[in-house]
Amino acid sequence: MNESLAATLGELQAQIYWLHDAQKFTQLASAAATIYMKLGYTQQQAETAGKLISEAYQLSDDAILAQEAGNFDKEIQFYHQVKDKLTQVETILGYQTSIAIHQMKWWIYFRHRQKLQVLLHLFLQNVKAVGLINLLTAIKLTSFLIEIGRVHKSRDRETAKHNAIKYWAELLKIKPPQYPYLG
């Protein structure tokens, strides 16, 4: 396992969360693209995936506004568009297992403060990508993501970055055929 690669990917992942908060979507797309280039995807694949991930984040913000306005139907429409963008990322990266639906669902449940559903869909996103043979890894990955979310809410950048690095170090140990991370 390359500790330097895990550190770079973890820093970029943590950076994406703050770029989203700051609504710096061009930089978010670039950070996401860099993650995929570092994972060995072509520049075209990485840039397209980064752009789609940035668009998914923007759509999730639109969903939040619809939620705040009490427009449930519009909120769900935006989340279906998020899923479509993330599914396109999967296609571009050549992934065989659909994890986009679980990422979209945990985003919804996170915004609706349904912690058990967040946990379930984070776990499913990870286990679908790494397989049941790597069940312990999927559990660890899920716990790192839960901790990242917890400290992100408290604006603890260093701990979020530290957990993102641990996430990638654990993930890179098993050399999965596809990655559960979609932004």
| Rounded Cα–Cα distance for residues 62 and 43 (Å) | 29
Mean pLDDT of 118-139: 95
Give the CB-side neighbour count of residue 67, counting CA atoms within 13 A: 16
DSSP character at residue 134: G
Question: How do residues 36-68 score in pLDDT, each as one tens digit?
Answer: 999 999 999 999 999 999 999 999 999 999 999
Residue 169 banded pLDDT, cuts 50, 70, 90: very high
Phi-psi region of 175 (alpha: psi -120 to 50; beta: other; left: phi over 0): left
| Rounded Cα–Cα distance for residues 62 and 69 (Å) | 11
| Rounded Cα–Cα distance for residues 89 and 179 (Å) | 11
Give the CB-side neighbour count of residue 44, counting CA atoms within 13 A: 1
Residue 154 banded pLDDT, cuts 50, 70, 90: low
Taking alpha carbons only, the member of 115, 116, 101, 110 closest to residue 180 is 101
Residues 6+ apart with CB under 8 A from 150: none
Question: How do residues 79-110 score in pLDDT, each as one tens digit?
Answer: 999 999 999 999 999 998 789 999 999 999 99
Q: What is the mean pLDDT of the chain?
A: 93
Residues 6+ apart with CB under 8 A from 32: 12, 16, 49, 50, 53, 54, 183
Q: pTM of the predicted model, to two decimals?
A: 0.93
Domain locations along the chain: 3-174
CA 25 vs CA 17, 45, 52, 101, 131: distances in Å: 11, 18, 11, 22, 32
DSSP character at residue 113: T
| Rounded Cα–Cα distance for residues 51 and 60 (Å) | 14
Q: Which two tokens stand for residue 183?
A: 């932004």
